[in-house]
Structure 1
């Protein structure tokens, strides 16, 4: 029994040791959202390099997975990463990218993500989000509140393509395929103001009168004030 027990322990240790020394043969990279490739697989592969030659030539025991994850998530467009090694010696990487909700027209331009943080533009992919103009860093919280509201509303997400803050501090919206501007005013009472706009839009669409206006104001409580061309 003692010999059998000793032999079993030897096999377990030998197997584990051999598995750790097995060299990594391949890398599999998966994105949580394949429809928005802000970061390429080539970029992630470069971040995975753990030697001067090739990160896939290292023994499994030498791979510090947490270090690789930190290296990947240090990229300004990547939100999180899960790096693991399979028993067959393959590296697996699951990538979650940050999600833009607005593009700020600055110098240089940049995105605002779903957490309200700023992120750089990507050379690989452009997000279809509202373009924001006339704002500064002190307006970040207001822009985030408005952009998030638009992002979470199916109608507004397809309808609003631009946000401008004028010299009076009022926010003006640009609608897709419409010639008029929407004066939102201050960032408050968004539920009421956009509900009023949706009601106006549906009625004007039915009446075929949308092209008659150059300005739609939502900043007055309980009403929509229109200015014709």
Structure 2
């Protein structure tokens, strides 16, 4: 009986040592393998500012491409940080798959407006973060003029998001002009008329009046008779022909 116990113990030790050796050998061999061409994925339904080639060029370490480098020297944090620094990237995840492939999943920023500033033209996303124009892709968003600094962007952003979040307003309003008096005027898709919105107070009430006016004038087909539609006065819509 004692001999059998010793035999079982020795068998257990041999198995444990063998497994440890195989794991160590496999791990070293895996780390020595070189990175193949990375897998790059973009979230569905997003803009196309970035291409596979552009992201691939961001996957660099020590100024060199990670392709054909050993897995043991790859720093995933550095690679993920490199991709995330791109102004079109909202979020990036870089990791090794179960089968050892390097994969990058990229969420691109979604522009909500194009700012036509006095000194530069750029997009902003829903957080007000600037995005440069791209030669690769042009996004059809609100055109905003008269806004020239970060404070003014923060001020107008709630108005932009209000328009962006409403199906009708999103389709109908194509431009916003801010005046020196801090009042706003809209350009419309359906006609040459202008919409005087006034300042940013009581936005919900003003948009409610504007929609009611649209419903009536679209129904009787008189919308094209007007040059300006003014909703900035309390309880009324003032128009000029």
The question of whether the paired residues in 2 share the 8 Å contact of 1:25 and 1:57 is answered with yes
Q: Does 1:123 align with 2:135?
A: yes
Q: Give the structure-2-normalised TM-score.
A: 0.90
The question of whether the paired residues in 1 share the 8 Å contact of 2:115 and 2:144 is answered with yes
The question of whether the paired residues in 1 share the 8 Å contact of 2:176 and 2:184 is answered with yes
Structure 1 residue 18 displacement after superposition: 1.8
The question of whether the paired residues in 2 share the 8 Å contact of 1:174 and 1:182 is answered with yes
Counterpart Cα distance in 2 of 1:158 and 1:43: 31
2:107 maps to which of 96, 113, 116? 96
Q: Does 1:83 align with 2:97?
A: no
The question of whether the paired residues in 2 share the 8 Å contact of 1:84 and 1:93 is answered with yes
Counterpart Cα distance in 1 of 2:75 and 2:197: 52
SS in 2 for 1:67: helix
Q: Give the structure-1-normalised TM-score.
A: 0.94
> Deviations along 1:184-205, whole A, 9 cap, x unmatched?
0001211111111111101100
**Which ranges of structure 1 fall in alignment gaps of 5 or more residues?**
none
Counterpart Cα distance in 2 of 1:142 and 1:174: 19
* CA RMSD, Structure 1 to Structure 2 (Å): 1.5
TM-aligned CA distance change 1:53 to 1:67, over 3 Å = closer
> Deviations along 1:22-67, whole A, 9 cap, x unmatched?
2111211111145411112111111113366642111111110010
Structure 1 residue 163 displacement after superposition: 0.3
The question of whether the paired residues in 2 share the 8 Å contact of 1:21 and 1:61 is answered with yes
SS in 2 for 1:132: strand
Aligned length: 228
Within-5 A mapping of 1:102-113: 102-106=113-117, 107-113=119-125
1:173 maps to which of 178, 186, 190? 186
The question of whether the paired residues in 2 share the 8 Å contact of 1:60 and 1:85 is answered with no
Counterpart Cα distance in 1 of 2:49 and 2:64: 26
The question of whether the paired residues in 1 share the 8 Å contact of 2:60 and 2:82 is answered with no
Structure 1 residue 16 displacement after superposition: 2.1
Query: Whose Rg is larger?
Result: 2
SS in 1 for 2:103: strand
Deviation >6 Å, runs of 4+ = none
The question of whether the paired residues in 2 share the 8 Å contact of 1:39 and 1:122 is answered with no
- Per the alignment, residue 44 of structure 1 pairs with 55
